Every structure is written in C-alpha cells, then in structure tokens.
Structure 1
C-alpha cells in the first residue's frame, strides 16, 4: 500500500471530519442515502484520493447504517424483506464496482481516481438531484400528505406485471412484485456505491419511482441495503489496502450522533421535506466537485497545464462550496425538525384542551 494515499491528520482536519461526520450522519438518518454524497467529497476536499475516500466511507457506513435502520425500524419505516432482497444484488454491484475503481487507480494513479469519482458525482447529482428537487416542489405545490403520495405510472406498471415463480410480497407497497425488477435496481445501487460510495442516489429514487415504495419507507429501507453493501465493500477495498481506518472511525464517531437526530426528524416532517433536503444538498455538492475537475484533467495532461495558484484557487472554492453544502443540509434538517416538533406540540395542546372541555 502506498503511504501517499493517507493524509496527515492534524487538529483542524480531525475537527472538520467530526463535523462532516455529524452532518453526514444527520442527513443519512433523515433521507436514508448514507450521507456519503457529503462525506466522500468532503474527504477529497482535504486531499484524500478518490478511491481511499470511497473505501473509507464504505467502511464507516455499515455500522452507521445498522444503527439508523434499527432506529427507524422502531417507527415502522423499514421494509426488511425488500432491503435484504435488493441488498443481495447490490453486493454483486459493489464487488464489480470496486474492481473498476482499483483498475483505474492502478492505470492512472490518484488523479485518475479523483477524476473518475468527481465526474461520476457531477453526472449523478445533476440527474438525480434535479429530478428529486422537481418532484419535491411538485408535491409541495399540490399540498399532498404522506397518505396522498401518489404512485407513478411506472410503479403501477411494475406492480401489475406477473412473472410466475418470481413474485414476492413486500409490506412497504402492500403488493407482490417480481424480484426480477429488484435485481437490476440493486446491482446499479451497488455499482454506484463502489464508485462514489453513494448507492442511495439510485436505491432511494428507484424504490420510490420504480417500485412505488413511499418516500419515508424508501429512505429507511435504503439503510438496510447500505449495511449489506458496506460489509462486502469494506472487505473488498480493505483487501487491496485502500481503507484508511482513521478516517472511517473519526467520521463514524460524528455520524453516530447525527444519525439519531436525523432519524427522529423523519417522524415530524412531511414527505416532501426529505426530497427537498436530498435535492438541495445534491445540487450544491455537484458544484463543489465540478470546480476541481479541471485540476485533475490538468494533472493527467488531458488539458493545458494549470498554474499552481490556479489549482489551489479551484480547490479552495470547492472546499468552500462543500462547507456551504454542509451548512445547508444541517440547517434544513434542523429547521424542519424544530418546525415539526413545534407543530406537533401545538396540535397535542389543542387536542388536550378539546378533551378537557368535553
């Protein structure tokens, strides 16, 4: 293992990673995507190579995902059967994706790994983040509640298809669907998780829009899938020497506190707020990664060489945008939690007063 893959940890970096872990955990508990779309770019902003950031992220993910899944299972939000079924095919995707990561690292070095991860982030964030944000705005304008959350035409079609010998009943959708639909979704989730450590980008939306799982249960069930993927992915990457256990443990320490707060927040907010948080953070992080792509292209001699001061400037801008993403994510979740608790307290008070008058 090349020692250059591991950054020096000073007090500032450790504190930054703890804060990043807390926010990532809070977002993870709230939207079920693992929070890695915050954590991976944040580590890369500190100079951690892409493959090491992905590997270390997956290492910290599975214990955190287990905690979040257990927490939200108490609220009846987890479809364990669906999580395990999709997790099985997701594991295959993780192993294949890890092989791709290792091949790129060996062929092009850290710059190639960084470019691969960053480009993947920008593309996925633009597509998924834009779609989720548009859907959240649509739900908000319609005034839909959790019970009124409508199934799309694709989900209705999937639930109507009958393939003998493959039908399985899933509590979250209260219907039987063919596991043949879950296999490609799970594989794609695992492949993306091994690429950028964020399988939830595909896992959560696919459960919502393809299978018809309510957003609250989709975000919770994704934690089960993340646990399964995290175990296999950690073993695979650790075998190649790409897991920095220091980073994983520091981030995990912050995440375990944040994930409880995020999970509690889901019980007080409307479904569209989960999508709002996901969409806002995705789009913000997109710009953070986009700013440093020219740096990696220059290092690989794919464009004209850049001056050191220009590369430093782009890296600083990327870090600044990343910090903004952290602040936005934490701010929205905390505000939604405070507002939801306030409304719940007010409704409880009104109900108690009505009972007292009766």
Structure 2
C-alpha cells in the first residue's frame, strides 16, 4: 500500500515503514535502549532524505518516550532535579544544533555530515560495546564473576565549581556537568534525530556516576522534553518534519517494543549485548560504505 509523504516528497510502502518502526521498537524493547539511533539510518537506506529522516525520527522518539516516562515517574525512578538541569542544557543544545543545521543546510553539506556523524558515533560505541560484551561472555564461559562497576564521577566533573546535591542520584557535584551533557544531547538530537539515550545512559553512569536505578528514567525524562523542543524547532526552521512518516514509525514501534520486552526476558543479557553491538557495527559499516558508493544518478533536479 503506497502512501505519499508530503515533506519527504516521495511515495513509500506504508506497511514497510510500519514494519521498519516495528523492527526498531523490537530492538528497543529487547536491548533497553531507544531505537532512535537506528531509525534515521534505516530510513536513509530506504531512500528518505537524511534531513527529513533525522527530523521525523525525533518526532517518533517523542511519542514513544511518553509511556516510559510515566512508568518511571510512578516508580519514583526519576531524579527530577538532575533531569531539570539536563533538560535546560538540552534546550540550549537544541538551539545551537538548529544554528549548525541551518549553516550546513545552506552550504549543502547536511546530508554528508549526518552520515559522517553516524559512522563515527555508531562505530565507536559499537566497538566499545563489543569489547565489553565479549569480555563478559568469556568471563561467563570460564565461570568468573563479571567485575563490579565502581560508581564514581569523572575527575573532570569533580573539578567543576558550584556543587549541588542530587539526592535521588546520590551525588554532590556541579550542575555544570549535567548541563553540558544536556547541551551535547540537544545538539545530537537536532542533527541526527536520535533521542540521545544511547549516549546519555553511558555518560550518566560513567561520567556523572549516577545510581543505576534512576539513570534510565532520568534519561527518558530529558529525552522527552528535548525531542519535543527539537520537533518544534525543526517544524519552524527546517520544515523537515514529516508527521505522516513519524506516525507510521510510531505505530510500528509501539507494537514492536512490547514484543521485544517479552523476548528480552527469555535470553541472557550477555548474548543480547553481543547482538546489539553487532547490529550497531553493521549499520555503521553500511553508512560508511554509502559515503563512498557512486550513486546511479550523479545529478538530481529538485523542483521547489
């Protein structure tokens, strides 16, 4: 069933887009990470313009984050003070990201930059995940316990001035650290359409040293508001948000996430991490190859 996307300016198979959203939701539910980091590359592989793919993926992440935030709030696993500081930083990052997006769009390099950032980000994170997960598997096969993670914030965070107490996270650190982290997340969300959780969660654990039980909820809280702001900014500036595309993706991802959550309960987490690392690396390699492939049509005409 073909459906015309007014902003992307092309016709797509609606069932295929719903299925793509379902795959992303399935992975999200299985691995406990937001699917935004895979949505944009998969849309680009399908033929959606990178600018529209990034903007619409952010809209989808907003919709899929609402139920998660509500669930974590009801379980009191959100550090609202930490989340508020990160949201403030994320809003600043969104505005900075919009300015960068506008400059890159004006010089005609936005598509290339999006692809390059994805290759660098997914490649580096995928390699780190593969190293850690394979090490955990080897230790499990040998019957050795996995090394416990020491919860301590980074020395650079300790050097920042003006400390606040974040009781839910068990921290006494400068608010500048989560604020800067929020700025980085906002810029990435604006440029790439990712929710940011893929970057935020490790940073909150290993840089800020937050308690594990509040990391996911606080990350989702920040993602919800930053993706809302990103969608609004994209709508007013780039006008690249395709609501029809976002709705189809959301329709599939909600169903896929439920199935993925059930599957995750039947598979050991060590194996899940290895599979996720493999998927991330495959997407990064495919994006890298796409940067070097010669297109079938070198020149295209865009009628405005």
Q: TM-score range by the shorter chain?
A: 0.7 to 0.9
* Match of residue 175, structure 2, among 179, 182, 187: 179
Measured in 1, the distance between the counterparts of 2:138 and 2:74 equals 31
Measured in 1, the distance between the counterparts of 2:150 and 2:24 equals 29
Aligned to 1:280: 278
Residue 175 of structure 1 and its aligned partner are, at CA, apart by: 3.1
Aligned to 1:151: 150
Aligned to 1:293: 291
1:216–1:266: 8 Å Cα contact kept in structure 2?
Answer: no
Residue 36 in structure 1 maps to residue 36 in structure 2 = yes
Measured in 2, the distance between the counterparts of 1:163 and 1:119 equals 32
Residue 123 of structure 1 and its aligned partner are, at CA, apart by: 0.6
Residue 310 of structure 1 and its aligned partner are, at CA, apart by: 10
1:88–1:228: 8 Å Cα contact kept in structure 2?
Answer: no
* Match of residue 258, structure 1, among 243, 256, 259: 256
TM-score with structure 1 setting the length: 0.70
Q: Larger helix proportion, structure 1 or 2?
A: 1
Q: Deviations over 1:247-267 (max 9, x none)?
A: 111001111222344456667
Q: Which runs of 5+ in 2 are unaligned?
A: 300-304
Aligned residues: 290
Aligned pairs (5 A) from 1:1-358: 6-10=8-12, 13-31=13-31, 33-73=33-73, 77-108=77-108, 112-143=109-140, 149-151=148-150, 155=153, 157=155, 161=158, 165-172=162-169, 174-198=170-194, 199-213=196-210, 217-240=214-237, 241-262=239-260, 272=270, 275-295=273-293, 306=294, 308=296
- Which has the larger displacement, 80-89 or 267-276? 267-276
Helix, strand or coil: the match of 1:176?
strand
Residue 120 of structure 1 and its aligned partner are, at CA, apart by: 0.6
Aligned to 1:318: none
1:163–1:178: 8 Å Cα contact kept in structure 2?
Answer: yes
Measured in 2, the distance between the counterparts of 1:259 and 1:79 equals 24
Q: CA RMSD in A?
A: 3.2
Assess, with a 3 A threshold, how the Cα gap between structure 1 residues 5 and 103 changes in structure 2: closer, same or farther: farther
Aligned to 2:302: none
Helix, strand or coil: the match of 2:207?
helix
Measured in 2, the distance between the counterparts of 1:158 and 1:263 equals 36
Q: Tell which has more relative contact order, 1 or 2 (C-alpha 8 A, sep 6+).
A: 2
